[in-house]
Amino acid sequence: MTFYEAFEIALEKADMTTADVCAKTGIYPSYFSKLKHGATKDVTWDKALAIIAALGMTPDEFYELQMSGQ
């Protein structure tokens, strides 16, 4: 599962939108669009940590979500 796919699941579980995460992190919506469409494949560690924290998760929880595929 890609980072973006896990992000979408985490968004749903957190009852949040991408706009909510953008507001909390300062990351532009276009970045998430690029992730979604494969234009950006790798997420920097700093951005990943900011996104995961905005979702109210720990890196370990996000990793487990990504590896479990659900």
At how many degrees (to 10) do helices 45-54 and 18-25 cross? 120
CA dist., res. 19 & res. 32, Å (int): 10
Query: 29 with 22: CB under 8 angstroms?
Result: yes
Query: 49 with 59: CB under 8 angstroms?
Result: yes
Looking at residue 22, its pLDDT comes to 97
Name which residue leads in pLDDT, 22 or 68.
22
The pLDDT tens digits of the residues spanning 42-60 come to: 889 999 999 999 999 999 9
Looking at residue 70, its pLDDT comes to 58
The pLDDT tens digits of the residues spanning 2-52 come to: 899 999 999 999 999 999 999 999 999 999 999 999 898 788 999 999 999
